[in-house]
């Protein structure tokens, strides 16, 4: 019965993850960001094509999906049990199910975003300090290079490294953090190709270090 309950929670988490913030808000606005910019349904393309306010709403929805799936949906007891299904493995699996739903949404022909925002939500529910470390790393890379994708990749890679120096995390977290990092690298393969080719989009306005160097 525990297995059935976990399966239902995973399924619900995947379906919640499949609700795309950008496409849902896009319907209200009459736009589909998958038809413009990088053609991705994530927050970065939402910012480039629709502006800051639209993008921040998209990102908040994506983060919230990951958070509620890991924090709450993982603990649902849909089948009557004497034991609540709230162990650490359930949190991680349901969080990952939401991420996979975001990347491969059943409601949108399995064409979604790259999973970073939903991953942040999952991590906030499980081990918030890792989000702080990842965001700091992301910001440093962003203001140094102007590449959002590179910052996201490096941020995801920092998490399993940071866990090597901490004992305050779930038993399976280090393994899942490595899988998450590999997944983020995979979903950003197009960014990697464009960076190698030299035609990846840059947010040059945030490249603080370059501005300081040029002004000196």
**Quick one: 122 and 132 in the same domain?**
no
**Quick one: 117 and 133 in the same domain?**
no
pLDDT of 33-43, one tens digit each?
Answer: 888 777 778 88
User: What's the chain's Rg over C-alpha atoms?
Assistant: 18
The reported pLDDT for the residue numbered 155 is 95
Residues ≥6 apart with Cβ < 8 Å to 205: none
The reported pLDDT for the residue numbered 187 is 95
The reported pLDDT for the residue numbered 211 is 53
pLDDT reading at 50 higher than 50 = yes
Q: Give 175's pLDDT tier (boundaries 50, 70, 90).
A: confident
Q: Give 32's pLDDT tier (boundaries 50, 70, 90).
A: confident
**Quick one: 106 and 19 in the same domain?**
yes
**Quick one: 74 and 96 in the same domain?**
yes
The reported pLDDT for the residue numbered 62 is 94
**Quick one: 28 and 74 in the same domain?**
yes
**Quick one: 172 and 112 in the same domain?**
no
pLDDT reading at 6 higher than 90 = no
Count of the separate structural domains present in the chain: 2
**Quick one: 104 and 160 in the same domain?**
no
C-alpha span between 128 and 175 (Å, rounded)? 17
Q: Point out the domain boundary residue: 80, 111, 126.
A: 126
What mean pLDDT comes out for the span 155-174?
Answer: 81
**Quick one: 109 and 164 in the same domain?**
no
What mean pLDDT comes out for the span 157-170?
Answer: 79
Q: Point out the domain boundary residue: 96, 126, 156.
A: 126
**Quick one: 139 and 56 in the same domain?**
no
Residue bearing the bigger pLDDT, 11 or 203:
11
The reported pLDDT for the residue numbered 215 is 54
Range from 4-8, 13-17, 123-127, 143-147 carrying the lowest mean pLDDT = 4-8
What value does the mean pLDDT of the chain take?
85
C-alpha span between 140 and 62 (Å, rounded)? 23
Q: Give 11's pLDDT tier (boundaries 50, 70, 90).
A: very high
DSSP assigned state of 70: H
Question: Structural domain of residue 84, as residue ranges?
Answer: 1-126
**Quick one: 37 and 132 in the same domain?**
no
Range from 73-82, 108-117, 200-209 carrying the lowest mean pLDDT = 73-82
The reported pLDDT for the residue numbered 85 is 46
**Quick one: 136 and 114 in the same domain?**
no
pLDDT reading at 7 higher than 80 = yes
**Quick one: 9 and 103 in the same domain?**
yes
Q: Point out the domain boundary residue: 126, 150, 184.
A: 126
């Amino acid at each position: 019965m525990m297995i059935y309950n976990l399966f239902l929670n995973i399924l619900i988490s995947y379906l919640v993850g499949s609700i795309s913030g950008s496409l849902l808000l896009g319907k209200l606005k009459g736009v589909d960001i998958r038809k413009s910019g990088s053609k991705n349904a994530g927050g970065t393309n939402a910012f480039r094509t629709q502006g800051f306010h639209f993008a921040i709403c998209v990102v908040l929805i994506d983060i919230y999906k990951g958070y509620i799936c890991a924090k709450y949906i993982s603990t649902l007891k849909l089948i009557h049990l004497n034991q609540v299904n709230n162990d650490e493995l359930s949190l991680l699996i349901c969080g990952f199910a939401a991420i996979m739903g975001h990347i491969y949404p059943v409601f949108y022909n399995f064409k979604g975003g790259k999973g970073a925002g939903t991953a942040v939500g999952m991590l906030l529910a499980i081990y918030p300090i890792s989000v702080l470390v990842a965001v700091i790393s992301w910001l440093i890379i962003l203001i140094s290079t102007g590449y959002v994708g590179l910052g996201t990749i490096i941020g995801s890679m920092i998490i399993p490294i940071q866990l090597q120096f901490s004992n305050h995390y779930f038993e399976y977290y280090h393994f899942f953090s490595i899988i998450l990092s590999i997944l983020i690298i995979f979903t950003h393969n197009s960014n990697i190709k464009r960076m190698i080719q030299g035609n990846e989009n840059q947010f040059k306005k945030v490249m603080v270090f370059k501005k300081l160097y040029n002004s000196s």
